Amino acid sequence: MKLVEALKRDVLLGDGANGTFLSNRGFIKQPYDLANIEAPELVREVHLAYFDAGADFVETNTFSANRFKLEGFDADPHAVNLNGARLAREAAGPDRLVLGAIGPCGKPLAPIGNITEEDLRDSVRDQARALAEGGVDGFILETYIDMCELKAAVEAVREVSDLPILVSKAYIEDGEALAQGLPGRCTSEMNDLGVVAVGANCIVGPQRMLDLVRQISETTDLPILAFPTPGMPQIVNGRVTYDTSPDYFAKASLRLVEEGAKIVGGCCGTTPAHIQRLREVLSQAKIKPKARPRLGERATDRAPAPLSEPSELSQKLGKKFVVAVEMDVPRGLYLDRLMAGARALKIAGADVINISDGARARLRMNPAAVSSILQSKVGIEVTMHFSCRDRNLLAIQSDLLGWHALGLRNILAVTGDPANIGDYPSATSVFDIDAIGLCRIMARFNDGIDMAGYSVGVKCAFTIACAYNPRAMDRASELDRLKKKIDAGAHLVYTQPVFDPCVAEEAAEHCERLGVPVLMGVLPLRSQRHAEFMHNEVPGIEIPEWLRNRIAAAEDDASALEVGIEEAQRLSAFVRNVAQGLYLMPPFGSHTVAERVIEAVR
């Protein structure tokens, strides 16, 4: 094949960024792959400009042309990929090379996100078929972060095409992580995929890329690909721009070749000017690549990460009946009532206080701040609810590490209510992941690594809790999600409030079969209005008719509250015999109501 023969050359020069060129020419609609349909002449111009600059091959403008990133646009992914390949092929002619570009799907795969591996494979197969039909000489799978996704993508391409495959991972700029040998470990995995070249691209500039090439060279005999950015980006007038001269980029990239890179080019921010100058530098230089070390000769092994101290809650589970009480987080800054209630509950025998995270999308003080204050000033441990609604994948991991450092080890993973039902309906919901994915992230941290495979220095000690609603509308689906949360690493289950001993017993049996302890939710009703609201307006809550009738028969709200407390006490005493703990949700966060219910299980 032409590509395989070309890889026998000393150096193979690729192109630069398609998106940067298109943006500079006025096509700012993203994903830029849409230009294959909407501005084909401009895409052809991009490819011709890179060939004129001296590139040996170009990549199709299809990096983001998958069904997930094109969702919501009036564009057929097959047509976008087919047109992208044909435009590059027309610009290349019969003698120059075209690589079909396939990037990651753009969202975390299940169980972190909602995209299944089979959905990913279907999308990649569709892309590969269209690119092959359009006349590419091979494929380049680039800018992947997740090695599992990269492996699945390579296998999907191979199912529909025998054309050569190059693979390239993106590495976050972190000197400490590089020093721990991650590039070498990832390259070993890429090396086993049956590809014709491996390497790194994007995110980092030529100098950091140099460290990557050195480590990659220690773990493969395959040709090495290096496509750095020209430097660090900045935002100017709302657009991402790079301000690195082609001369610097070219001279710095020459060092990549000297260190062993055989396929070089540019990523985001590079232009035909960068590639032209790199061609000139390569033509003038007398390149003497350094001898590669023998495989594994200097590869760095990661030392086992030390363990963190576990939470008190994790040590109590299975040894005593645990009592957790949910307290309301204030709207403003006044915490005195909350702290006084927590102190009283600690004296009454509560083991842990639950702090919610913007339930019903209502504005409340940050739960991490509240939880940290309670633990430090009251001396009672907290289980902090963590909603996936407000944070992207980066912020989720960053916050978790910060909370762990503050001593917040008990985390209840919740997907979260959409922002449009709350105080600020115009706010944006993120939902990069759901509760299942959040459980998996914490489990990875407990293994000492983040989602990109980097060490976090220690093995975290999160007690991973998840929610379960025994009376969900679709109970089979709810139970299936519970199984997935446990498979993702959940240690403990908190249920939504139950009001019937039979329901509590059934929920406890499900959790026992799944091998996890459960804290059963109990909510003391305070009035007929409260009971009717919970039963009729809150999804997944069923209050037996006999209990609603008994509350309704009370003379007034004070009497109704006494009935609610009495029934909650009776149910809690029953729960003690079937579950590992009690999860109390007193109305209005009333610690006095909670204390009276706790008496039934002391």
Q: 347-367 burial by CB neighbour count: b if 16+ within 10 A, else e?
A: ebebbbbbbbbbbebeebbeb
**CATH 3.20.20.220: does it fit domain 312-601?**
yes
| Residue partners of 196: CB distance under 8 A and separation at least 6 | 3, 4, 7, 138, 164, 165, 166, 222, 223
Q: What pLDDT does 300 receive?
A: 45
**Three-state SS at 117:** helix
Q: What pLDDT does 548 receive?
A: 95
Of the candidates 533, 594, 543, the one whose C-alpha atom is nearest the C-alpha of residue 569 is 594
Contact between 399 and 448 (Cβ < 8 Å): no
Domain with CATH 3.20.20.330 in the chain: 2-284
pLDDT digit string (tens) for 438-483?
A: 999 999 999 998 887 778 889 999 999 999 999 998 999 999 999 9
Give the amino acid at 293.
P
Of the candidates 145, 141, 154, the one whose C-alpha atom is nearest the C-alpha of residue 183 is 145
**Is the torsion defined by CA of 316, 318, 323, 326 positive or negative?**
positive
N residues, the chain? 602
Domain 2-284 homologous superfamily, CATH: Homocysteine-binding-like domain (3.20.20.330)
Give the amino acid at 174.
D
pLDDT digit string (tens) for 212-249?
A: 998 899 889 999 999 999 877 676 666 666 767 899 99
* Cα(210)–Cα(416) distance, integer angstroms: 43
Domain with CATH 3.20.20.220 in the chain: 312-601
* Cα(238)–Cα(13) distance, integer angstroms: 32
Q: What is the DSSP string of 31-98?
A: SGGGHHHH-HHHHHHHHHHHHHHT-SEEE-S-TT-STTTSTTSS--HHHHHHHHHHHHHHHHTTTSEE
Q: What pLDDT does 478 receive?
A: 95
Distance of CA 124 to the CA centre of its chain: 20
Q: What pLDDT does 239 receive?
A: 65
Residue numbers in the chain where pLDDT is lower than 50: 175-176, 295-300
φ and ψ at residue 170, rounded to 5 degrees = -95, 130
Contact between 495 and 469 (Cβ < 8 Å): yes
Of the candidates 369, 410, 325, the one whose C-alpha atom is nearest the C-alpha of residue 589 is 325
Q: How many CA atoms lie within 13 A of 194 on its CB side?
A: 12
Which residues are bridge partners to 166 per DSSP?
A: 140, 197
Which residues are bridge partners to 98 per DSSP?
A: 58
Q: What pLDDT does 404 receive?
A: 96
Q: What pLDDT does 238 receive?
A: 63
pTM above 0.95, yes or no: no
Phi and psi based region of residue 463 (left: phi greater than 0; alpha: psi -120 to 50; beta: remaining): beta
**Three-state SS at 576:** coil
| Residue partners of 293: CB distance under 8 A and separation at least 6 | 217, 218
Q: What pLDDT does 480 receive?
A: 95
